Copies of this chain bind each other. A is one copy, B any other.
Amino acid sequence: MASKSWVQKLTPAAPHGSELLKQERAKSNIDANQLAQFLFTKEALERNERILKLLTADPVFDKSHNYFQGREARIEASLAKAKRLRQLQVQHNWTQDEFMCANELLSEATPYGLHYSMFLVTLREQGTPEQHKLFLEKAENYEIIGCYAQTELGHGSNVRGLETTATWNAADKTFIIHSPHLTSSKWWIGSLGIVATHAVVMAQLSVNGKNYGPHPFVVPVRDMITHEPLPNVHVGDVGPKFGFNTMDNGYLLLNKVKIPHVNMLARFSRIDPETSKYTRPANPSLIYGTLTFVRADIVLKSGSVLARGVTIATRYCAVRRQFQDQDAEASQAGENQVLNYTMVQYRLLPLLATTFALHFTGRGMIRMYQENQKRMSASRDASKSEDTKRHPGPEELNPGTDLLADLHATSCALKAYGSTMAAEGLEVCRRACGGHGYSSFSGIGSYYADYLPTVTWEGDNYMLTQQVARYLLKSARAVLAGKAAANDTTRILKAFLARQDMGAAFDVLGSDTDLVDAFAWRVAFLTFEALRHRDEEKQSWNSLLVDFWRLSTAHAQYMVVKSFHDALSEPATQESLPQDTITILYQLFRLFALHTLEQEASEFFMSAATTVRQIQLARKASMKLLEEIRPHAVRLVDAWSFPDWQLDSSLGRSDGKVYEDMFHRASSLNALNKVIVDPYPNSRVLFKKDGRTSKL
Interface residues of A (CB under 8 A from B): 1, 3-4, 6-7, 10-13, 60, 67-73, 75-76, 79-80, 82-84, 86-87, 111-112, 142-143, 145, 151, 153-158, 161, 163, 179-185, 187-188, 193-197, 226-228, 232, 234, 236-244, 248, 251, 253, 255, 321-323, 325-327, 335, 340-343, 346, 427, 430-431, 434-435, 438-441, 445-446, 449, 452-453, 455-457, 460, 462, 540-546, 549, 598, 601-602, 605-606, 612, 615-616, 623, 659-660, 662-663, 665-667, 669-673, 675-684, 686-687, 694, 696
Contact = CB atoms under 8 A, between A and B. Distances in A.
| Among A76, A623, A665: residue with most chain B CB under 10 A | A76
Contacts of A181: 10-13
Given A665-B239, A672-B237, A687-B76, A179 B439 contact: no
A188 B435 contact: yes
By DSSP majority rule, is chain A's interface helix, strand, loop, or mixed? mixed
Given A196-B679, A666-B237, A335 B158 contact: yes
Contacts of A157: 322-323, 434
Contact of A606 (B161, B612, B667, B670): B612
A195 B341 CA distance: 38
Given A251-B663, A435-B453, 9 more contacts: A1-B236, A12-B181, A13-B180, A13-B183, A72-B672, A76-B694, A84-B696, A188-B435, A194-B672
A182 B12 contact: yes
A435 B462 contact: no
A456 B430 CA distance: 11
Contacts of A342: 542-546
B441 A239 contact: yes
A90 to B, nearest CB: 8
B659 A7 contact: no
Contacts of A68: 71, 239-240
A464 to B, nearest CB: 11
Contact of A237 (B111, B325, B670): B670
Contact of A156 (B73, B79, B242, B434): B434
Contacts of A13: 154, 163, 180-184
A445 B242 contact: yes
Nearest to A253: B7
B456 A183 contact: no
Contacts of A445: 241-242, 449
Contacts of A12: 153-154, 181-183
Nearest to A448: B242
A523 to B, nearest CB: 18
Given A253-B10, A323-B157, A667-B251, A182 B239 contact: no
Closest 5 CB pairs of A and B: A70-B70, A326-B541, A242-B445, A601-B602, A86-B681
Contact of A545 (B76, B234, B341, B667): B341
A677 B605 contact: no
Contacts of A239: 67-68, 439-441, 665-666, 669-670, 672
A233 to B, nearest CB: 9
Contacts of A541: 325-327
B156 A435 contact: yes
Given A80-B696, A195-B677, A546 B343 contact: yes
Which of A238, A449, A616 has the most chain B CB within a 10 Å cutoff?
A238
11 contacts: A10-B181, A13-B183, A161-B322, A161-B335, A182-B663, A237-B672, A242-B430, A340-B542, A346-B546, A598-B602, A602-B602
Given A237-B673, A606-B616, A322 B182 contact: no
B456 A227 contact: no
Contacts of A112: 681
Contacts of A665: 239
Given A239-B67, A322-B161, A341-B545, A79 B602 contact: no
Contacts of A679: 79, 111, 145, 194-197, 227
Contacts of A453: 435, 438
A335 B253 CA distance: 22
Nearest to A7: B234
A413 B80 CA distance: 50
A300 to B, nearest CB: 23
A469 to B, nearest CB: 11
B681 A142 contact: yes
B156 A194 contact: no
B142 A680 contact: yes
A437 B606 CA distance: 36
User: Which of A232, A445, A544, A670 has the most C-beta atoms of chain B within 10 angstroms of its own C-beta?
Assistant: A670
Contact of A79 (B72, B228, B623, B677): B677
Given A7-B253, A71-B70, A680 B143 contact: yes
B179 A10 contact: yes
Given A227-B677, A239-B67, A542-B342, A663 B153 contact: yes
A660 to B, nearest CB: 7
A422 to B, nearest CB: 14
A378 to B, nearest CB: 37
Contact of A659 (B154, B346, B675): B154
Given A435-B151, A672-B71, A677-B79, A322 B156 contact: yes
Contacts of A227: 676-679
A122 to B, nearest CB: 18
B667 A234 contact: yes
Nearest to A73: B70
Contacts of A156: 322, 434-435
Contacts of A666: 236-239, 251
A648 to B, nearest CB: 13
Contacts of A161: 322-323, 335
A13 B184 CA distance: 8
Contacts of A540: 325-327
A343 to B, nearest CB: 4
Contact of A87 (B154, B158, B195, B682): B682
A87 B683 CA distance: 10
A47 B180 CA distance: 45
A300 B60 CA distance: 49
Contact of A241 (B183, B240, B248, B438): B438
